[in-house]
Chains A and B, each alone.
Chain A
Amino acid sequence: MLLSVSDLFKSYRGAEGAIPVINGVSFGVSKAETLALTGESGSGKSTLLHLIGGLDLPDSGVISVDGIDIAQLDDKGRANWRRTVTGVVFQQFNLIPSLDVADNIALQARMAGRQDRDWTAFLSERLGLRDHLRKYPESLSGGQQQRVAIARALAVRPKLVLADEPTGNLDEATADTVMTLMLDLVRETGAALVMVTHSERLAALMERRIHLRAGRLG
């Protein structure tokens, strides 16, 4: 088992006290497995993904990746873990606007000390970005920007790819293209993929799916 989540709880403080968002969630993901996290808006999908990615901390429970409980790591340890183990694809792309496409793709791999020019060239080629490497994100379409984000996430050769509504900002045709490319590349790298989506159509492309309802597995 690559990822093991057990008895996870998370709540946020609001004006009316603590608001529970994740209520005792447990599941696992094997190596190279693809998993869709589905649910209604506000069901806790994104929060769960952020917890798995070490972007936020749970109130209680265990998130273990390759035997390491990331909730027990300090800020520096979690940062190192995010840098080297995961690749994240956000709905809003989150590219660095002042870096060109090539630098954006290489950024995480360089930070992790794993830059492999052949691999990034391969990713650029496969994702159709070769002619756009010297362009800045603002001059790309939404679909192109998301492909840059996917390339950046995979350039580090992560064990676990986390994607939060990666096609939420794209039209259906572009979304399908991007999704297919991402799935193909994830499979080629042997990474596991956990993807948040509320699209039944996209969830069906994954090997397994779990559904969240009010912070519980439904």
Chain B
Amino acid sequence: MIRAVLGALWSHWRHNRLQLFTLVAGLALATALWSGVQAINSEARSSYAAAARTLGEGQYDQILRADGRPIAVDTYVQLRRAGWKVSPVIDGRVDGIRVIGVEPLTAPRSLGGVELDAFQAVGDSPPIFGQKAALDALGRGGVVRPDLAPDAVVTDISVAADLLAQTDPSRLLVLPDQRADLPEIDSIDNGLTRRVAQSGSDLSRLTDSFHMNLTAFGFLAFAVGLFIVHGAIGLAFEQRRPMVRTLRALGVPLRHLIVLMAAELLLIAVAAGAVGVVLGYFIAASLLPDVAATLRGLYGADVGNSLNLSPVWWVSGMAVSMGGTMVAAAGALWQISRMPLMAAGRRALAVQGRVRRRIEAICALCLLSLAAGLGVWGQGLIAGFGLLAALLIGGALALPPMIDLATKVGQKSAGSALSEWFWADTRQQLPSLSLALMALLLAMAANVGVSTMVSSFRLTFQGFLDQRLAAEGYVYADTEEQAKALQPWLSSRTDAVLPIQKVDIAVRGLPTEVYGPIDHETYRSNWTFLTATPTVWDDLHGGGGVVINEQLSRRSGLALGDVVPVGGRDFVVVGIYGDYGNPIGQAMIDAGDFAVLFPEAVPLRFGIRVADSALPDIFADLQSEFGLPVANMVNQAGIKSFSMGVFDRTFVVTAALNILTLAVAGFAILMSLLTLAGLRVPQLAPVWALGMTRRTLGRLELGRAVLLAVLTALFAVPLGLALAWALLSVVNVEAFGWKLPMFLFPQDYLRLIAQAVIAAMIAAAWPAWKLQRTAPADLLKVFANER
């Protein structure tokens, strides 16, 4: 029996190949976009994990100097003599490649996947381990280790010292089995600080925001794809209702039928999932270089440019495809299970449809109210995601009633019989097209939301750079001595020198960078605050004030006027500023107070105010007189253009995903219209018979698609803006502790509406053309009586 029933069920797809193609293509596209984004994320995360392993983060506590300078060899020796089991690491960059030198005798048994025995295995000179690309870039030869972090090599400390021209360790790894009676590290050198092992790497935390947004985009694209799948399955099941009734009447038990239909769909899902995962691989591979460049530029995170295929990724792609199919089919299967054996009348079906639409409208209203409630009163990340979900689902469900209302108004204001018919016919089409329109709505809303977020981020970041890089140039000294010599030299050659001095301490128990800027017009005219006293700079420089970043304010609950101890002295919070992307707290106090509280801190960086035209000469003289490497002298315009370049790479990624999502939505419309084309003939034949040409009918079909796309777009823009607001003002704040201001980009939205209209027109063109070419004989069949 099973073979016969499966044969009958499958014959539907054989007979309706376009429908099968829609289902497979929709599912494959949805899986491709989801698994492509997941592949990028997992590739980036595995790179972070490799980097963390290579650098010893996450596994071992580390001892560093608070001022960021290397630890003197003498200090290391003292620690060892005192009984501390520590191992030195020299860490730096050569030609963009991170060189990590470890000391094989004292290092943990395995670091970054390189067994210590390997260091002794090759000839006289200790080997260098790394990925092939990194070794090639370094040009020193070595042993290829694909599992090491990209753009990083591991070698013996003596080789690293030679390569980096640095003899003192950058940090010390603290081995796990230490004695209990060890002296405090402060007693050996009070400039040392111990960083405890972290469960996740710094990089993964820094880049979480970026990956979360990518994941959200991937999920939205998947949801859009599922609308196609849902539509295709819904139509197929609707068309198969009579077959299901007949099969049941011929003696197939209902449970068998449901199981076989689910199994049939799962088989299709497996095939489509496999296609989707392969497509996803190509999407990921084409986007990965831009994502890697973005992550490297924004966060200094090294991500490999090539994609590794992991079995987990394959399996998860297939699981998503099968799960998505079952989610999309659940409603249709449930309806089949509840369907009476004998057919219900047309009137009963129409009543059912009206009831369903009413329930959907009520659900939309409830969900949008819930979203509004969560937006106003919600607390926490779960509430934030709940808000996003309620907004999107509620928005999608609200679309058909909104369009229905618009077409009702259109019908009432229609001036001619033709336009009245057009509006009425559009309303009649709405139930069949509503899923595709919802897919378009979600795609457009995602586009508006994500592009608003990214563009707002770009604009904010630009302002942030203008604020932070107000000086024309920046100079970095390698040593304190050099810094002391540089400062008077720079003062004599520039309009002003702004020393940048910093210590890392805890403020209210949170790790915080404390800066001590001098009182200068550069800060007063460029720095902007989220909130501040009217005389913030005077309060800072003469009144015992401190300004803090938003992260510190939110995490420690500090507000304007609160008193907070910094370095053992109380300061009053007089300003709070935005500090985008910074994972930790920051505070600024007057330079004089800073010098008193942290006398050991010496500024190694200087901002210089000087005419742009004078910068090249100054940099050339710094090179010749102090031997400063080019990397230690930065033109702020150069940094800004580099940073904006990074953003433009980010735009490449989001723009590509935007276009892909829109293309999926366009595909949904095309497939809906194509599958409806056959059903349209009986509806259009009477109008044709009453005297309308096929060409006019075709044009009206095209016009209808444009009208529906425009109506959907008009609803999508506010929904997308609400989505952007939720991402920027709720989710970002809850997840990362800082809020991004939201800007509007009307031109972008107009362009998007135009794109959506074009997508709808392209999608409608073929069905309209087919309609124009429908043979009169086919139209006449509608009126033929077979009796």
Contact = CB atoms under 8 A, between A and B. Distances in A.
Interface string B428-444: 00000000000000000
A50 B254 contact: no
B242 interface: yes
B3 interface: yes
Contacts of B11: 96, 98-99, 103
Interface string A74-93: 01100111111000101000
B16 A96 contact: no
Given A56-B342, A80-B251, A99-B11, A170 B787 contact: yes
B15 interface: yes
B250 A88 contact: yes
Contacts of B4: 107, 110-111
B251 A75 contact: no
Contact of A83 (B242, B245, B250, B787): B250
A108 B786 contact: no
Interface in B1-31: 1, 3-5, 7-8, 11-12, 14-16
A128 interface: no
Given A56-B342, A94-B246, A82 B251 contact: yes
Nearest to B343: A92
Contacts of B255: 75-76
A171 interface: yes
Contact of A56 (B16, B253, B341): B341
Nearest to B16: A98
A111 B243 contact: no
A84 B342 contact: no
Contact of A110 (B3, B246, B342): B3
B15 A98 contact: yes
Nearest to A95: B246
B261 to A, nearest CB: 14
A96 B253 CA distance: 17
B262 interface: no
B229 to A, nearest CB: 20
A94 B8 CA distance: 13
A98 B342 contact: no
A142 B786 CA distance: 6
Interface in B216-274: 242-243, 245-256
A169 interface: yes
A107 B256 CA distance: 16
A90 B248 CA distance: 13
A88 B15 CA distance: 25
Interface string A45-88: 00000100101100000000000000000011001111110001
Contact of A169 (B249, B250, B786): B786
Interface in A81-137: 81-84, 88, 90, 94-99, 103, 107-108, 110-113, 136
Q: Chain A, interface size: which category?
A: 20 to 34
B252 A111 contact: yes
B16 A82 contact: no
Contact of B15 (A97, A108, A142): A97
Given A75-B253, A79-B253, A98 B3 contact: no
B250 to A, nearest CB: 5
B251 A84 contact: yes
A169 B787 contact: yes
A99 B7 CA distance: 9
Interface string A136-162: 100001100000000010000000000
Nearest to B243: A96
A88 B246 CA distance: 10
B249 A82 contact: yes
Nearest to A79: B253
Contacts of B245: 94
A97 B243 contact: yes
A94 B342 contact: no
A103 B246 CA distance: 14
Contacts of A90: 249
Contact of B8 (A50, A55, A107): A107
Interface in A156-197: 169-171
Nearest to B3: A110
B218 to A, nearest CB: 36
Contacts of A152: 250
A62 to B, nearest CB: 20
Nearest to A82: B251
Nearest to A152: B250
A152 to B, nearest CB: 8
Contacts of A141: 786
A92 to B, nearest CB: 8
B341 A83 contact: no
A99 B342 contact: no
B250 A107 contact: yes
A76 B11 CA distance: 24
Interface in B38-66: none
Contacts of A75: 253-255
B342 A55 contact: yes
Contacts of B242: 94, 97
Contacts of A111: 1, 4-5, 250-252
Contacts of A82: 249-251
A83 B401 CA distance: 45
A149 to B, nearest CB: 10
Given A84-B251, A88-B250, A171 B787 contact: yes
Contact of A108 (B251, B254, B256): B251
Nearest to A115: B4
B7 to A, nearest CB: 7
Contacts of A142: 786-787
Contacts of B14: 98
B1 A83 contact: yes
Interface in A3-54: 50, 53
Nearest to B257: A79
Contacts of A112: 1, 251
B256 to A, nearest CB: 8
B455 to A, nearest CB: 50
Task: Indicate the member of B247, B250, B255 with the most A CB atoms within 10 Å.
Answer: B250
Nearest to B340: A56
Nearest to A171: B787
A88 B254 contact: no
Contacts of A94: 242, 245-246, 249
A77 B248 CA distance: 12
B246 A96 contact: yes
A53 B249 contact: yes
A169 B785 CA distance: 10
B787 A136 contact: no
A136 B12 CA distance: 12
A79 B7 contact: no
A98 B253 contact: no
A83 B253 CA distance: 10
Contact of B251 (A81, A99, A171): A81
A103 B255 CA distance: 23
B260 to A, nearest CB: 12
16 contacts: A79-B254, A79-B256, A81-B251, A83-B252, A95-B246, A96-B11, A97-B242, A97-B243, A98-B14, A98-B15, A107-B4, A107-B8, A108-B250, A110-B4, A111-B5, A112-B1
Interface of A: 50, 53, 55-56, 75-76, 79-84, 88, 90, 94-99, 103, 107-108, 110-113, 136, 141-142, 152, 169-171
Given A98-B243, A103-B7, A108-B250, 13 more contacts: A53-B249, A56-B341, A56-B342, A79-B253, A84-B251, A88-B249, A94-B245, A96-B8, A96-B246, A96-B247, A110-B3, A142-B786, A171-B787
A-B pairs with lowest CB-CB distance, top 6:
A83-B251, A98-B15, A110-B4, A82-B251, A98-B11, A79-B253
